[in-house]
């Protein structure tokens, strides 16, 4: 692997601690979390314990439509949680930088 070219890189790409992690690695981790959420909710609703969503007739029923709305809301909620965590982490990072000045 080539050396990271990110200007703020501290060299810790494998670290799981947010504050020690290179910003590029942190961004990649966030992206992967968001992808995981998308996959979790958009593949046949495996989380619901059935594969009804593959049935075109079920999609057109009230239950199918409500199921789609519920899953969309749940996915949006989780995405917002991820964003909120990211904002808190960024805020904490700024505070720690200011404390060092």
Q: How does pLDDT run across 8-67, given as a tens digit for each residue?
A: 777 767 766 767 778 788 888 888 888 887 776 665 555 455 565 567 777 788 888 888
pLDDT value at residue 50: 55
Report yes or no on 54 lying in a domain. yes
3-class SS shares of the chain: helix, strand, coil, % to 5:
70, 0, 30
Strands (E), the chain: none
pLDDT value at residue 38: 72
The predicted model gives 59-77 an average pLDDT of 86
Is residue 72 predicted with pLDDT exceeding 80?
yes
Number of structural domains in the chain: 1
Report yes or no on 15 lying in a domain. no
Report yes or no on 57 lying in a domain. yes
- Structural domain that includes position 49: 23-100
Three-state DSSP class for residue 31: helix
Is residue 79 predicted with pLDDT exceeding 80?
yes
pTM score, whole prediction: 0.40
């Amino acid at each position: 692997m080539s050396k990271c070219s990110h200007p703020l890189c501290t060299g810790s790409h494998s670290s799981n601690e947010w504050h020690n992690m290179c910003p590029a690695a942190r961004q990649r981790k966030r992206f992967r979390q968001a992808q995981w959420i998308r996959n979790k909710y958009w593949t046949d609703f495996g989380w619901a314990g059935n594969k009804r969503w593959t049935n075109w007739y079920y999609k057109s029923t009230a239950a199918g439509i409500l199921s789609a709305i519920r899953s969309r809301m749940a996915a949006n909620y989780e995405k917002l949680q991820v964003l909120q965590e990211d904002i808190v982490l960024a805020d904490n990072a700024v505070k720690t930088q200011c404390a060092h000045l």
